[in-house]
Chain A
């Protein structure tokens, strides 16, 4: 087989994961990507590095090693305290130009999407958004980046053949969280930012926080999600079920638009992507825009009064019936079963 040699292949080496943090708290997607980056680096036979930018973020160095990095690049500078595009762009581009990785992975969070687009443009390289599968072609050594487009109606595999680095973003919870390995360590490379506060055109005036639960959402393992079929009257039953299971309440867009749930609870294309142990979809029809946000959950349970609802096509377990009756029955049964074992 003929090997398609990328222009600068030999010149660029290694897989990098951008370790996103806010207020010193690492975005869980960074570690999910570290797990994925590890696999890619092993297939290529190269090193995996974590890249940390921020102010007072030294505590994240051992974390990066524990999640699989061989090497860590860090720029710790007060200018990087609260995220702004310009200094992060400056720092990340500087590191990439100097150390030349062949692959750079970032989370498709608001921050990651803001930053990756400018960095790729500055470097005049390709960037693939929101990948759900990443792999290495053993012959060409190219990164095969698979992503949904057209609102999840199609999947596309994207290549960046000749420019480097190959850059990709991945949504939170799409890749599995790797186990932590205590006691791993490696080389730490510290660099200066080389940009002064006066040179930056943007100022963060304040952060408005919704709750006290930290800056990253959604560490839930169980979501009980409701749709239009639940109805305003039965919505408290849904919340009751979530309480009994120690889970969180999620919602379809129809339920958010009806005002039963807040936009922060919306799951799907224009809401959050979740990857959980159990996802209960109650009175949700299973539109593609909803499915793209939850279909990687381990177990999906659907409750719907229409046996032909599309949600049943992807659910592991289904119950056909009226939410008004099924929800209280579930609450009762879970209460009994969970108490009985205690």
Chain B
């Protein structure tokens, strides 16, 4: 089993704010973390490797400092990591991002076949959940999104069976390998990095690929390759607050208001 995990470094989204004067993102001092869903994607890949043997490769696209997230990922027990980093990749939307990641996976596959790709269900910064399906579409592989349980990986049969979330139901789905899976947090509990793995991760060489290192069409990457553009960012509109009616003595008044205004229907 050779499993690729797409792992994104993200700013801790809870800390990102808008500067009300300039209407730009305040990124200073915002800590970077592994996208939480991707940590679960990595854990699931490692579990399958623990059971069936094989190899786990992390692929990250991001600025040079994303190396930090990559090393963290390695410390959980991944076997190798590739960081895709080039100024020309900046400004990529989900279409360009899925292209760059796919081309890197294709280059990797020239050396060694890939059986499974794991992604998080979404990144907590861009929040789109589009990159996973984008990679699957480009490779022409089956995609299994919002997976909260891998039921079975069967290398002999060449299949994977998962349980995935739909709206009010869960679907048990079986797909042919190779396939792409995006995961929910509830899929597993993340292990602690072992000391030997942490030491190993700190010393491991990390392969960095720039745009010349794999087959890329200039028109499909970065801003040029991105059909969507952010035309404006702003702070979310605040719902105008109402009134605090008071303490417990105000309960009858509240109830009367709600019933009178037919907000709470009188059946």
Contact in complex: B133, A159 (CB < 8 Å):
no
Report the separation of the CA atoms of residues A295 and B145 in the bound assembly, to the nearest whole angstrom: 28
By the criterion of a CB under 8 Å from any partner CB, how many residues of chain A are at the interface? 96
Binding stretch for chain B, among A42-50, A96-104, A197-205, A226-234: A197-205
Chain B CB within 10 Å — which of A120, A217, A341 has the most?
A120
Contact in complex: A207, B242 (CB < 8 Å):
no
Q: Which residues of B contact A315 (CB under 8 A)?
A: 241-242
Q: Which residues of A contact B138 (CB under 8 A)?
A: 121
Report the separation of the CA atoms of residues A303 and B247 in the bound assembly, to the nearest whole angstrom: 9
Q: Which residues of B contact A116 (CB under 8 A)?
A: 130, 133
Minimum CB–CB distance from B2 to chain A (whole Å) comes to: 19
Q: Which residues of A contact B44 (CB under 8 A)?
A: none
Is B88 part of the contact surface with A, judged by Cβ < 8 Å?
no
Is A185 part of the contact surface with B, judged by Cβ < 8 Å?
no
Q: Which residues of A contact B58 (CB under 8 A)?
A: none
Contact in complex: A127, B258 (CB < 8 Å):
no
Is B198 part of the contact surface with A, judged by Cβ < 8 Å?
no
Residue of B167, B237, B267 touching A111 (CB-CB under 8 A): B167
Is B216 part of the contact surface with A, judged by Cβ < 8 Å?
no
Chain A CB within 10 Å — which of B146, B186, B250 has the most?
B250
Is A188 part of the contact surface with B, judged by Cβ < 8 Å?
no
Q: Mark B256-267, 1 if CB is under 8 A from A, else 0.
A: 111100011111
Is A155 part of the contact surface with B, judged by Cβ < 8 Å?
yes
Give chain A's interface secondary structure class. Answer: mixed
Binding stretch for chain B, among A54-62, A68-76, A81-89: A81-89
Report the separation of the CA atoms of residues A203 and B172 in the bound assembly, to the nearest whole angstrom: 9
Q: Mark A85-128, 1 if CB is under 8 A from B, else 0.
A: 11001000000000000000000011101111110111011111
Known: A86-B142, A150-B127. A127 touches B94 (CB 8 A): yes
Seen from chain B, the residues whose Cβ lies within 8 Å of a Cβ on chain A are 11, 13-14, 16-18, 25, 93-95, 98, 124-134, 136-138, 141-146, 161, 163-176, 179, 185-186, 226-239, 241-248, 250-252, 254-259, 263-267
Seen from chain A, the residues whose Cβ lies within 8 Å of a Cβ on chain B are 22, 27, 82-86, 89, 109-111, 113-118, 120-122, 124-130, 144, 148-163, 201-211, 213-217, 221-222, 245-246, 263, 270, 277-278, 288-289, 295, 298-301, 307, 312-321, 325-326, 329-330, 333-334, 337-338, 341-342
Q: Can you list 30 A-B contacts with CB-CB less than 8 angstroms, sorted by A residue number?
A: A22-B166, A22-B167, A110-B164, A113-B130, A114-B146, A116-B130, A117-B130, A121-B98, A126-B226, A151-B127, A152-B236, A154-B16, A157-B231, A158-B230, A201-B142, A201-B179, A203-B175, A204-B173, A207-B169, A207-B172, A210-B168, A215-B166, A246-B265, A277-B263, A299-B258, A312-B244, A321-B248, A326-B251, A334-B259, A338-B266
